[in-house]
């Protein structure tokens, strides 16, 4: 049975349509049909984009979806297990660890080379030798086939963090070190000729500045006059880490550069205590022989004793050892 115009208007009002008596019955019916169709489409779309779980609704995707919520929960559980130090699998399964055979650690002496072990057998580890005996034994027990350096290592009872106990000085070894020392002289042009006569390999303000500008260092010792030291300031980052910055304690800043060059060429070396309170110094080559090495060692020990800090309480020299570059260490009795 067809609805009257008034019934259709009442139905349109319920759907929120703005219609009046002036509209025809056909217009009212068309508007009602379109409104009902649109409402069904909206309800269907809402149902497709939501998933109902118990009393909570989730979006099909995005941060409000059920999948995202499960991922957040799993992440929180993982963080809690990590904070508690639980390293077992999350699903509760027990994993059996496969362990290989226990590692076999060989003694340090067994890990050395055949030649080293052969010469090391000549040294009595329980004995402390005199300086002359130790040097003769060092020359005898050198395992290398080339002319190695003989080194002396002295452990001191000083605290390097204290300014007055941070030992740093120079010593002129009577027989030299056996190394060819390349000396550069940062001097004015008027002193270049004297510097070269004294044995400088490179001399002159401009010549050395050109090398330093290119960051090329073709020398082992750099000697400078006090007047030219301000000009070396811009090269401090290049020279300082390499220990080449001239210093009055090492004798490389001198008003008489020719004399400083001769001393450097003759075997004047610098030594200083390290962070472990140990002084290391090469006192010559194996080819020098025990007699010349002993002369150098005695001069070094005399210099070291003269550098003893006045504020030091307790023993100054704790232990001394002698060795070659690749050879075994030999304990020396403190004298």
Based on the fold, state whether residues 169 and 293 are members of the same structural domain. Answer: yes
> Could you tell me if residue 11 is inside a domain?
yes
**191-to-187, 224, 242, 251 alpha-carbon distances in Å:** 6, 11, 26, 18
Evaluate if pTM is beyond 0.85.
no
Which residues, other chains included, contact 272 with Cβ-Cβ below 8 Å and sequence gap of 6+? 166, 167, 168, 169, 279
pLDDT for 35: 79
Residues of the chain with pLDDT under 50: 50-53
Based on the fold, state whether residues 68 and 35 are members of the same structural domain. Answer: no
pLDDT for 296: 92
Tokens of 332: 């020396």
Distance CA 271, CA 304 (A): 9
Which residues, other chains included, contact 320 with Cβ-Cβ below 8 Å and sequence gap of 6+? 131, 152, 153, 154, 155, 331, 332, 333, 334
The CA-to-CA distance between both ends of the chain, in Å, stands at 132
Based on the fold, state whether residues 173 and 192 are members of the same structural domain. Answer: no
CATH number, residue 260:
3.40.50.790
What range defines the domain where residue 41 resides? 5-48
CATH number, residue 174:
3.30.190.20
7 φψ region: left (φ > 0), alpha (ψ -120 to 50), beta (else): alpha
Based on the fold, state whether residues 273 and 174 are members of the same structural domain. Answer: yes
58 CB burial (10 A radius; 0-12, 13-18, 19+)? middle
Q: Among 334, 270, 276, which Cα is nearest to 307's?
A: 270
Based on the fold, state whether residues 261 and 116 are members of the same structural domain. Answer: no
> Could you tell me if residue 95 is inside a domain?
no
pLDDT for 55: 55
pLDDT for 53: 47
pLDDT for 321: 93
Based on the fold, state whether residues 40 and 78 are members of the same structural domain. Answer: no
Based on the fold, state whether residues 164 and 287 are members of the same structural domain. Answer: yes
Tokens of 124: 């009595």
Based on the fold, state whether residues 187 and 331 are members of the same structural domain. Answer: no
* Dihedral, CA of residue 223, residue 229, residue 234 and residue 237, to nearest 10: 50
Based on the fold, state whether residues 318 and 262 are members of the same structural domain. Answer: no
């Amino acid at each position: 049975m067809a609805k009257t115009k008034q019934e259709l208007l009442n139905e349109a009002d319920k759907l929120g349509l703005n219609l009046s008596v002036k509209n025809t019955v056909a217009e009212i019916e068309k508007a009602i049909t379109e409104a009902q169709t649109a409402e069904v489409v909206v309800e269907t779309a809402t149902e497709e984009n939501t998933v109902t779980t118990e009393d909570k609704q989730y979006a099909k995707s995005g941060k409000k979806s059920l999948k995202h919520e499960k991922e957040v929960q799993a992440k929180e559980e993982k963080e809690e297990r990590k904070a508690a130090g639980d390293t077992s699998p999350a699903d509760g399964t027990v994993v059996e660890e496969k362990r290989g055979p226990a590692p076999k650690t060989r003694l340090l002496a067994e890990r050395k080379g055949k030649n080293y072990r052969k010469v090391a057998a000549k040294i009595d580890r329980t004995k402390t030798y005199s300086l002359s005996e130790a040097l003769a034994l060092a020359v005898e027990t050198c395992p290398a086939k080339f002319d190695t350096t003989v080194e002396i290592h002295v452990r001191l009872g000083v605290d390097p963090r204290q300014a007055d106990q941070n030992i740093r000085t120079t010593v002129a070894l009577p027989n030299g070190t056996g190394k060819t020392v390349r000396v550069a002289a940062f001097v004015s042009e008027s002193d270049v000729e004297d510097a070269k006569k004294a044995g400088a390999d490179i001399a002159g303000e401009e010549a050395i500045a050109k090398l330093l500008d290119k960051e090329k260092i073709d020398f082992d010792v750099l000697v400078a006059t006090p007047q030219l030291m301000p000009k070396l300031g811009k090269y401090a980052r290049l020279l300082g880490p390499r220990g080449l910055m001239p210093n009055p304690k090492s004798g490389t800043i001198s008003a008489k550069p020719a004399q400083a060059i001769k001393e450097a060429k003759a075997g004047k070396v610098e030594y200083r205590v390290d962070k472990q309170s140990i002084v290391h110094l090469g006192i010559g080559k194996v080819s020098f022989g025990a007699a010349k090495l002993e002369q150098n060692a005695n001069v070094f020990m005399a210099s070291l004793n003269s550098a003893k800090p006045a504020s030091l309480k307790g023993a100054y020299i704790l232990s001394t050892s002698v060795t070659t570059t690749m050879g075994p260490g030999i304990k020396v009795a403190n004298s």
